[in-house]
Structure 1
Amino acid sequence: MSALEQAIEFLTPQVGGELGVSDWITVDQQMIDDFARTTRDMQWIHVDPARAATDSPFGGTIAHGFLTLSLASRFFYDCQVDLPGQAMGINYGFNKLRFLAPVPAGSRLRGRFELTGIKPKPSGKLLREMRLTIEIAGQNTPALIAEWLGMVVFTDAG
């Protein structure tokens, strides 16, 4: 049986179920500032705590939406199980992505993953479809929800 066939056999019963929940990560002001410098997005709602405290509706600085999204890869590492014969996983993109709540500096975030589908692809690859919810500790509304696609490449792929 090929690695792709083994992966399909392993994952099929998991479709519709939770893959895992990551550890919590604190998004502090230093992380926000570092992300702002890297992306050159220095908007004051992210990097000016004094102004954000008085002039923003959030009462302080908030993380960039794309910073929150960029943590998805880290969250997935906490939850993933490599499949037999898996050489690597490749980010394949998103079908849908919504930022639902701001992430105030100092917030703790974690990722929750649900396997929503699997599709064999040419050359012995497997498209893994997941629902990603990034939760904010102490809040009912998540920071974001996304339909995330990952391509699994196997060692015996053509």
Structure 2
Amino acid sequence: MTVINNYDEFASYLGKEIGVSEWHTIDQNQINQFADATLDHQWIHIDEERAAKESPFGTTIAHGYLTLSLVPYLWKQIVEIHNLKMEINYGIENLKFGQAVTVNSQIRLKATLKSIVNLRGTTKAILETVLEIKDQAKPAFIGDLVFLYHFS
């Protein structure tokens, strides 16, 4: 795990891969709980029998936004940022979903620091992220995530 204590240490990763998370399995229970939380009960996510018969994937798939919602959890496996007053998810740029994540697939996040700027004491970091699917050539998504960090 990478440890970052201040802006200068963060900036030293500019243009470099910061790290890769552990693999995380997305199971049917997690998909069902996400469906309940978001009120998105489309059959391709939750109806295992119908998905086995009618889906081009042959099984249920995770919601695209479920995979995206796992970024904070996976990001915390890559980096530990100290001396923070506050951290804010600020935005997402250029997000493209590349491939469906079928139930019981394993995913992991790879993050590279694309840009960093000090805005009068607030660090704006843009991370180029790739959500990889184990044993698949295409990722689940690629996108630039924007975070604001307020160091102490």
TM above 0.5, one fold? yes
Higher fraction of helix: 1
Corresponding residue for residue 104 of structure 2: 106
Match status 1:152 vs 2:149: yes
Corresponding residue for residue 53 of structure 2: 54
Please tell me the residue identity of whatever aligns with 2:21: S
SS in 2 for 1:133: strand
Corresponding residue for residue 27 of structure 2: 28
Match status 1:135 vs 2:141: no
SS in 2 for 1:33: helix
Question: 2: distance between equivalents of 1:142 and 1:54?
Answer: 25
Question: 1: distance between equivalents of 2:6 and 2:66?
Answer: 31
Tell me the TM-score normalised to structure 1 length: 0.89
Corresponding residue for residue 96 of structure 1: 94
Q: CA RMSD in A?
A: 1.2
Residue by residue, what CA displacement relative to the aligned partner does 1:70-91 show, whole Å, maximum 9, x if unpaired? 00110100011314x3223110
How far does residue 8 in structure 1 lie from its aligned partner after superposition?
3.5
Q: Bigger shift: 135-144 or 85-94?
A: 85-94
SS in 1 for 2:40: coil
Aligned residue pair count: 148
1:79-94, aligned counterparts within 5 Å?
79-83=78-82, 85-94=83-92
| Residue segments in structure 2 that go unaligned for 5+ positions in a row | none
Report which of the two structures shows the higher radius of gyration computed on alpha carbons.
1
Corresponding residue for residue 66 of structure 2: 67
Question: 1: distance between equivalents of 2:27 and 2:65?
Answer: 15
SS in 2 for 1:14: coil
Partners of 2:86 and 2:149 within 8 A in 1 = yes
| Residue segments in structure 1 that go unaligned for 5+ positions in a row | 1-5
Q: Percent identity?
A: 38
How far does residue 136 in structure 1 lie from its aligned partner after superposition?
0.4
Corresponding residue for residue 3 of structure 1: none
SS in 2 for 1:66: helix
